[in-house]
Structure 1
Amino acid sequence: MFKDRTAVGHLLAAKLGVYKTVPGVVLAVPCGGVPVAYYVAKELGLPLDLVLVKKIGHPNNKEYAIGAASLTDHVVVPQPDVPASYIEQELLRIRKRLAEMSRKFRGDAAAINLAGKTVIVIDDGAATGQTLLRTLSLIKKSQPAKVVVALPVASRPAMQILEKEADEVVVCLIPSDFYGVGAYYENFTEVSDDEVSYYLDKLNRLQRAG
């Protein structure tokens, strides 16, 4: 069991030490992935940005990801019972939220260009891996040199599907019986928008000073 997201960030950074000298970028899945990714980016000396992608859930089960959307692109696995009008409505709703997040967390700064770089995607854990799977499909459209998924904890089914989409998957813990991501943390309190801004600003100041 991990103490909290910051503690496991150090563990994950140690497993990713080979990428310290590689041109790359750490992408955090907000909000829970940000404290983990902060320490990885800090210790590897890499820039940190956010994965501004949200899943498109099935209309009958919002937790089941049938696709994902970014501000500029989307992917959808065709579903016979999902009309195009639903996808259009979801794209509008999701992009409105993503635009708000971009303004709040990035301000006027542009997203980091991923082309030709090693991209390390970090979240605080993966139960099914379906949302991350759709997210990776979008990230790969930016033509990175390599995509690495790094997670504190993941279920075996999540590992299996992520390994098919990512070039490498690095995980600290793969329980034989998975009880949900939060079950493996002593402290799994929700990460606020203010905390996300804090970690992004802190890393920017450290890297500018260094």
Structure 2
Amino acid sequence: MQPSAKQAGLKLCPHCHFVQPIAEKHCPRCSMRTHSRIPYSIQKTWALIITATIALVPANLLPITVLSTRGAPKPETIMSGIINLFQSDMPVVASVVFIASIVVPFAKLVGLALILASLHMHIELSDRQRVQMFRFIDFIGRWSMLDLFVLSIMIAVFSHHKIIDVAAGPGATAFGLAVVLTLFAAKTLDTRLIWDYQT
């Protein structure tokens, strides 16, 4: 196995990409502070994962939309909206919302938590499996905002044509917060630690 840059006593400046000895505190080229690994990467990632998990609770329990026609406003949670879409003969849209709103956020959180836990608890995961899992998490992360995108289009279309009054509920704010936190968690995790904590 090829040694890592850290094992070879080298590190890369994240600002100007200058390769330098690991003992250097500041980059000789741009004078920026450098680190061989992102400082407190695991701690920051755990904090973001826990906060995102907490945010998903109100995101799924509170109304994500409030529909108003001629009667009283009707709040809709994520699951009730998915069920109504299935009952309205829109299984494709319901499936997209279910995957984007339920599957993707929880898959990202569970995957990231599993990677972090495997680094500390020496769970039987190879470096290849960890990297493939992280690549999958990073890939599905780009679809995390799909549900809010669909919601914003619905609000714009319905409001423009005056079909029905649609407003974003407090659950939408919590869901957006959870999505942003999971995106930050994926970016905060320094994947080079996978090779530092080999099982």
Q: Give the TM-score taking structure 2 as reference length.
A: 0.24
Q: Which has the larger radius of gyration?
A: 2
Q: Which structure has greater helix proportion?
A: 2
Greater relative contact order, per chain length (Cα 8 Å cut-off, separation 6+): 2
TM-score, normalised via structure 1 length: 0.23
